[in-house]
Chains A and B, each alone.
Chain A
Amino acid sequence: MHNHTSAEITLNINNEDRTVYVRNADTLLYALREKLGLTGAKPGCLNGDCGACTIIVDGDPMKSCLMLAVEAQGKSIITVEGLQNTAIQTEFIDKFAFQCGYCTPGFIMNCHALMTKYPDADDSVIKDWLESNICRCTGYQEIEAAIKAALAAAKGEPG
């Protein structure tokens, strides 16, 4: 097998250019975790179903198990490691919106993108977006409280 099936690529992750050698067949999730040590995005199904691997690509939430690493060249990638002290992280803690924490980075990335894109998101937009992730520990009510409080906080309203 001659080697056009793997390549050195550059990815912009959390505002840094990172060069990495991947198989064309490697998913972005695999590259992030196994090649770049960014293990915040989690494998849950590798099939696009659970959302545990969600990151933000060019402003949109993306299941990194559904994207090849080579497809991500030239795009701006944000992983949970790139978020600090955001409103949604604070509210996840305050509202007890996680237990085992495994789904949490994915949920937070999705919520963060939602807040950026739709600061006025209503219930139906929130549902449409957050349906993309599965949490088995909470009853989702806590996650609902967290996203609503974070949206309110971002608007300067009392949570």
Chain B
Amino acid sequence: MLSFDFEYYKPASIDEAVQLFQSLDRQGKNPSYISGGTELITLGRVNKIVTGAVIDIKAIPECLVLEKQGTQLVFGAAQSLTVVREKQFFPLLSKAIVEIADHTARNKITLGGNICANIIYREAVLPLLLTDSTLAVAGLNGLIQYPINDIFQQTLQLDRGEFLVQVITHKQETELPFVCLKKRRQWDVGYPLLTAAALNKNGQIKLAISGLCSFPFRDKRMEYSLNNRSLSMKARIEEAVSRIPAPVLNDVHGSAEYRVFVLENTLQEILAEWEGAGDA
């Protein structure tokens, strides 16, 4: 139950959405885009999101595209996680998605909403970071494409009034071997203790992690350590762990020390996938 009231708009074009935002903002209504809208409801009920006007992007055709265009795959930001997964365009993304929330919730949660979410996990971002995907963002200057690794820094860095329209991924990147492991405190549904996604491109491992720190990330220095085959597997993992870019979370799902323990095991699993059990 939301105790605040808001206006509701469902624009049919990108332009209309951008203009609406501007005018509602000028009226002091603190407008908010929604896509799946699940956070509006779940964070709204505890007043962690409060808005006077909601702009629902689910009627904008560009936000609903889901197709192969030449060498590229295009995912509309307003498509539900279920639909994105069922298309099976991008196996690693599908694998990451199937561990998010639960099946029914994924019928409502959208790809764009998960990328832009306020909760710290944003697990759908991991495959996109690994494949150097591109994000199409709409704003006053039109639709602009940015490499995700530039524009996603802990969170998606949007200017006020901008919104995410599409995710574009190179087809060949989606065909690379991958591992995606979600570790939870206990049992099979729920937030991650950590989720690690890895891609193997020509023998080089790329790694992105959610749930370990207060934001999802891909860290080049950790990748470097993992790929440093001059070291033993154990040493590579130790070094990678020493390079975690931010404080490790200590919360209801697990202590920081335990997360590190789980991370070490997870990295071993990832390396073992491509290099055999090794000496770890």
> Which listed segment binds B: A24-32, A86-94, A135-143?
A24-32
Asked whether, in the complex, the Cβ of B102 is within 8 Å of the Cβ of A24, the reply is: no
Which listed residue (B1, B41, B56, B189) contacts A66, Cβ 8 A? B41
Q: Which residues of B contact A4 (CB under 8 A)?
A: 7
Smallest beta-carbon distance A49→chain B, Å = 8
- A67 located at the interface, meaning its Cβ lies under 8 Å from any Cβ of chain B in the complex: yes
- The complex places the Cα of A131 from the Cα of B103 at a distance, in Å, of 7
- A46 located at the interface, meaning its Cβ lies under 8 Å from any Cβ of chain B in the complex: yes
Asked whether, in the complex, the Cβ of A132 is within 8 Å of the Cβ of B54, the reply is: no
Contacting A at CB under 8 A, from B1-23, are 1-2, 4-8
Asked whether, in the complex, the Cβ of A68 is within 8 Å of the Cβ of B189, the reply is: no
Q: Which residues of B contact A6 (CB under 8 A)?
A: 5
Identify the closest chain A residue to B46 (Cβ).
A47
Asked whether, in the complex, the Cβ of A131 is within 8 Å of the Cβ of B188, the reply is: yes
Q: Which residues of B contact A71 (CB under 8 A)?
A: 37, 56, 58
- The complex places the Cα of A5 from the Cα of B103 at a distance, in Å, of 31
Smallest beta-carbon distance A62→chain B, Å = 6
- The complex places the Cα of A71 from the Cα of B255 at a distance, in Å, of 40
Given contacts A47-B45, A60-B107, A71-B37, is CB(A25)–CB(B6) below 8 Å? yes
Asked whether, in the complex, the Cβ of B98 is within 8 Å of the Cβ of A128, the reply is: yes
Which listed residue (A23, A24, A25, A110) contacts B104, Cβ 8 A? A110
Smallest beta-carbon distance B11→chain A, Å = 14
Which listed residue (A24, A27, A61, A68) contacts B7, Cβ 8 A? A24
Asked whether, in the complex, the Cβ of B41 is within 8 Å of the Cβ of A131, the reply is: no
- B42 located at the interface, meaning its Cβ lies under 8 Å from any Cβ of chain A in the complex: yes
Contacting A at CB under 8 A, from B55-102, are 56, 58, 82, 98, 101-102
- The complex places the Cα of A60 from the Cα of B85 at a distance, in Å, of 14
How many interface residues does A have (CB within 8 Å)?
32
Smallest beta-carbon distance A140→chain B, Å = 12
- The complex places the Cα of A62 from the Cα of B108 at a distance, in Å, of 7
Q: Which residues of A contact B41 (CB under 8 A)?
A: 27, 46, 48, 65-68
Smallest beta-carbon distance A122→chain B, Å = 14
Which listed residue (B5, B42, B58, B102) contacts A5, Cβ 8 A? B5
Give A2-19 as 1s and 0s: 1 = Cβ < 8 Å from B's Cβ atoms: 001111000000000000
Asked whether, in the complex, the Cβ of A63 is within 8 Å of the Cβ of B6, the reply is: no
- The complex places the Cα of A7 from the Cα of B54 at a distance, in Å, of 14
- A70 located at the interface, meaning its Cβ lies under 8 Å from any Cβ of chain B in the complex: yes
Asked whether, in the complex, the Cβ of A68 is within 8 Å of the Cβ of B102, the reply is: no
- The complex places the Cα of A68 from the Cα of B102 at a distance, in Å, of 19
- A54 located at the interface, meaning its Cβ lies under 8 Å from any Cβ of chain B in the complex: yes
Q: Which residues of A contact B40 (CB under 8 A)?
A: 68
* Of listed A1, A47, A62, A71, residue having the most chain B CB within 10 A: A71
The 9 closest A-B pairs by CB, nearest first: A132-B104, A5-B5, A132-B102, A24-B8, A25-B2, A4-B7, A60-B107, A61-B104, A129-B103
Chain B residues at the A interface, C-beta cutoff of 8 Å:
1-2, 4-8, 36-38, 40-42, 44-45, 54, 56, 58, 82, 98, 101-105, 107-108, 188-189
Q: Known pairs A66-B38, A131-B188; list 11 more (Cβ under 8 Å).
A: A4-B7, A5-B7, A24-B7, A24-B8, A27-B41, A46-B41, A47-B42, A66-B36, A67-B37, A131-B103, A132-B104
